[in-house]
Amino acid sequence: MPIRCGVPTANIFFSLPAAKGLLWTRGDGAGRPQPLIRSDAAQVPWSFAPGGKRLAYQEIGGNGRPQIWTVPIEESGQGLKAGTPEPSFKGQSIDFDPMFSPDGHWLAYGSVTPAGNVDLFVRGFPPPASGEGGQWQISNGRQAGAMLQAWSHTGQELIYQSGDQLTALSYTVQGDTFMPGQSRVWIPKVGGTQWDVAPDGKRVAVITPVGSREAPQQDHTVVFLLNFLDYLKQKVPLNK
């Protein structure tokens, strides 16, 4: 069950395998989950633009191809209300896992290249009306599986996973141009495929796989004492 937290009022957005569309609920537990977007397609919430007024999510249509959408979100007297969803990119590409940059001007996402590799890309947001615009490939095609990513909030770096390692890529921006810089190994072995970086950039939360289950170890010892009265007489003789 994919879950994302958003502002304002610390709401939680999620999807369920048995339900279509997106749902939301208050982070303090008050009230019941409510539908945000009703759809016949499976949808997965992914990230919020700064301020929590726009949500990026991926939608998996009947053809099984994931595509990236964004939707404006407003507060109303009855809770939250979604605006009209908008596809982020035009075309038939397979794009997924959209992540807004801290300033909201860039969107990092995974995409299947024509060669069949899964790589990480960055585009400007919002995209131009023509659907065309700058696109920068971050991973190099030899790093299959580079999908999950996070933007650093403490420096201009984009962090992504390659194999079992986390790589941090520095970048600069000149106008509408995203300029990738040097990359470095940030964590050599992350130990899982689902992770996120804390806002201070000092910790990473990782969901690690469960290993093979072993027979439970005996935590307690139970002793049965037979002929208890005879034993008691030996320890505590009766006074004559």
pTM attached to this predicted model: 0.78
Cβ atoms within 10 Å of 30's Cβ, excluding its own: 7
- Distance CA(190)–CA(91), nearest Å, equals 34
Total number of domains constituting the chain = 1
Q: Is residue 237 part of a domain?
A: no
Report the percentage of the chain scoring pLDDT > 70.
78
Examine the pLDDT at 218 and tell me if it is beyond 80: no
Examine the pLDDT at 200 and tell me if it is beyond 70: yes
Do the Cβ atoms of 99 and 121 come closer than 8 Å? no
- Distance CA(44)–CA(234), nearest Å, equals 72
Beta bridge partners of 81: 74
Report the half-sphere exposure of 221 (CA within 13 A, side-chain side): 2
Domain of 127 in residue numbering reads as: 3-212
Q: Is residue 232 part of a domain?
A: no
Cβ atoms within 10 Å of 168's Cβ, excluding its own: 19
Looking up residue 48, the CATH number of its domain turns out to be 2.120.10.30
Q: What is the pLDDT of residues 1-25, one digit of tens each?
A: 555 665 555 788 988 877 778 999 8
Q: Is residue 194 part of a domain?
A: yes
- Going by the DSSP 8-state scheme, the letter that residue 220 receives in this structure is -
Closest residue by Cα to residue 101 from 171, 34, 44, 37: 171
Examine the pLDDT at 146 and tell me if it is beyond 60: no
What are 169's two structure tokens? 């890529």
Q: Strand (E) positions, 77-163? A: 79-82, 86-87, 95-100, 106-112, 118-124, 135-137, 149-151, 157-162
> How much is the average pLDDT of 136-146?
68
> DSSP characters for 48-65?
E-TTS-EEEEEEE-TTS-
Q: Is residue 229 part of a domain?
A: no
pLDDT-based confidence at residue 56 (cuts at 50, 70, 90): very high
Q: What pLDDT, on a 0 to 100 scale, did the predictor assign at position 135?
A: 85
Q: Is residue 227 part of a domain?
A: no
Gyration radius of the chain's alpha carbons: 26
Q: Is residue 236 part of a domain?
A: no
Q: Is residue 156 part of a domain?
A: yes
- Distance CA(191)–CA(49), nearest Å, equals 28
> How much is the average pLDDT of 153-176?
90
- Residue scoring higher pLDDT (237 or 191): 191
Closest residue by Cα to residue 115 from 134, 137, 130: 137
Report the half-sphere exposure of 155 (CA within 13 A, side-chain side): 10
Q: 230 — phi, psi (to 5°)?
A: -65, -40
Q: Is residue 222 part of a domain?
A: no
Q: What is the pLDDT of residues 80-121, one digit of tens each?
A: 899 999 988 776 678 899 999 999 999 999 988 777 788 899
